[in-house]
């Protein structure tokens, strides 16, 4: 039976797709929701709200997904409470093998009234915009890497091998630009490959320039300063974590943030048998990727670089002390694990998991 605080409310479970919305309507004191399908546009949603009941008596929910948060903002602007729920945490019956939009809408309405759904934090438009910029940067970096690999493979096929150290430094760029080919078709192909690399590098640089002003703007300035005090997390990494996580306090414990990052091992244990497998790799892949990238910096001995000293000037001594304690522990952790483990990736994942705990503690201190 609904609790006293939920009596008199009508629950709307929305299964949202690109063109339509299947709406499960569970009215007060009813047990079986009605269901209808409406078009996915503002006019249809407004007609639904006007037809079902007063906005103050409506509670809507839908799964977080590719349709974003505009539907949530539309309901909120009309005075309707709307929750965006985590799809992976929706209870499902093991024997249920039928999935339709109408059934999903009805199920969401029932579970929402029962209090069985977990809501996610809806970012502001500014937070969502910066997050989109960070994700566009990641896509541009992947495109740049593929373009560089194609150019490198082309040069190797034509016996042009770079042996002067690291690739894609200024020296290597100059060496690539100086390559010449007598065959016209080969020269044309080389120019296309190189132009692609130059274009991808320009895209990454342009996105970096677009992100840079946000380092000093709210609500990102304070998280960037505090996260940037930790080794391996520069401004770009800090703003990525800040805009992807948004509200750090929604995680009650460090272990819950580690699970959100997908850095905990999978487990199947029953009775006296305990089995732990590879990382779950669930949750937010962008947070996981940034933490793993940052963890690589701890393979060296504890040390304050010039850039890290500069970042420490903008935070309090307590933040500096916590970041130094993290560096001492994680560098030692890397060294001990590397002596026992054959795979460096395993060591990196373990260090990244502990780094996740340190940054959660920092942002909730």
Domain range list for the chain: 4-114, 125-214, 218-364
Distances (CA, A) of 54 to 4, 48, 190, 229: 19, 11, 65, 50
Q: How confident is the model at residue 335, as a pLDDT?
A: 96
Sorting pLDDT into bands at 50, 70 and 90, what band is 6?
low
Amino acid 4: pLDDT: 38
Q: In what order do the strands lie in the sheet with 10-16?
A: 34-39, 20-26, 10-16, 58-63, 81-85
Average pLDDT over residues 290-300: 96
Q: Is the pLDDT of residue 138 over 60?
A: yes
Please tell me the CATH code under which domain 4-114 is placed.
3.30.420.140
Asked if residue 89 has pLDDT above 90, the reply is no
**pLDDT at residue number 130:** 96
The token pair that represents 321 in the structure block: 């002390």
Report the pLDDT value the prediction gives residue 1, as an integer from 0 to 100: 40
Mean pLDDT for 48-64 is: 94
Find the distance separating the first CA and the last CA of the chain, reported in whole Å. 40
| pLDDT (tens digit per residue) in 169-213 | 999 999 999 999 999 999 999 999 999 999 999 999 999 999 999
Residue 275: per-residue pLDDT: 80
**Other C-beta atoms lying within 10 Å of the C-beta of residue 98:** 5
The pLDDT of residue 286 is above 60:
yes
Q: How does residue 276 score in pLDDT terms, banded at 50, 70 and 90? A: confident
* pLDDT tops 80 at residue 78: yes
Share above pLDDT 90 across residues of the chain, in percent, rounded to a whole number: 84
- For the chain, the C-alpha Rg in angstroms (whole number) is 26
Cα distances (Å, whole numbers) of residue 336 to 133, 329, 330, 345: 38, 11, 10, 14
271: pLDDT confidence band, cut at 50, 70 and 90? confident
pLDDT tens digits, 229-253: 999 999 999 999 999 998 899 899 9
Instruction: Identify the pLDDT of residue 8.
Output: 84
């Amino acid at each position: 039976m609904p609790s006293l605080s939920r009596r008199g409310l009508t629950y709307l479970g929305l299964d949202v797709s690109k063109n339509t919305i299947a709406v499960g309507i569970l009215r007060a004191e009813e047990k079986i929701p009605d269901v209808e399908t409406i078009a996915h546009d503002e006019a249809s949603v407004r007609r639904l709200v006007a037809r079902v009941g007063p906005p103050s008596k409506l509670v809507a929910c839908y799964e977080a997904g590719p349709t974003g948060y505009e539907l949530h903002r539309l309901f909120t602007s009309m005075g309707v409470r709307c929750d965006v729920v985590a799809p992976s945490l929706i209870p499902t019956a093991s024997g249920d093998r039928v999935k339709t939009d109408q059934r999903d809408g009805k199920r969401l309405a029932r579970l929402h009234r029962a209090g069985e759904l977990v809501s996610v934090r809806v970012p502001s438009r500014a937070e969502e915009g910066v997050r989109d910029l960070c994700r566009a940067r990641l896509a541009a970096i992947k495109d740049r890497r593929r373009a560089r690999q194609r150019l490198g493979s082309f040069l190797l096929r034509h016996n042009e091998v770079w042996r002067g150290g690291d690739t894609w430094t200024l020296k290597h760029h100059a060496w690539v630009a100086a390559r010449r080919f007598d065959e016209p078709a080969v020269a044309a192909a080389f120019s296309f490959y190189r132009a692609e690399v130059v274009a991808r590098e320009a895209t990454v640089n342009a996105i970096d320039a677009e992100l840079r002003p946000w380092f000093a703007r709210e609500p990102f300035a304070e998280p960037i300063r505090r996260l940037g005090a930790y080794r391996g997390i520069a401004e770009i990494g800090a703003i990525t974590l800040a805009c992807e996580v948004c509200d750090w306090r929604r995680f009650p414990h460090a272990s819950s943030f580690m699970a959100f990052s997908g850095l905990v091992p999978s487990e199947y244990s029953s009775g006296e048998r305990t089995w732990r497998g590879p990382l779950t790799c669930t949750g937010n892949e962008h947070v996981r990727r940034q933490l793993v990238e940052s963890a690589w910096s701890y393979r060296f001995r504890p040390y304050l670089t010039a850039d890290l000293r500069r970042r420490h000037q903008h935070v309090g001594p307590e933040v500096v002390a916590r970041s130094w304690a993290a560096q001492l522990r994680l560098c030692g952790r890397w060294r001990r694990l590397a002596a026992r483990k054959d795979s460096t990736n395993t060591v990196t994942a373990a260090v990244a998991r502990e780094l996740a705990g340190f940054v959660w503690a920092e942002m909730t201190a």
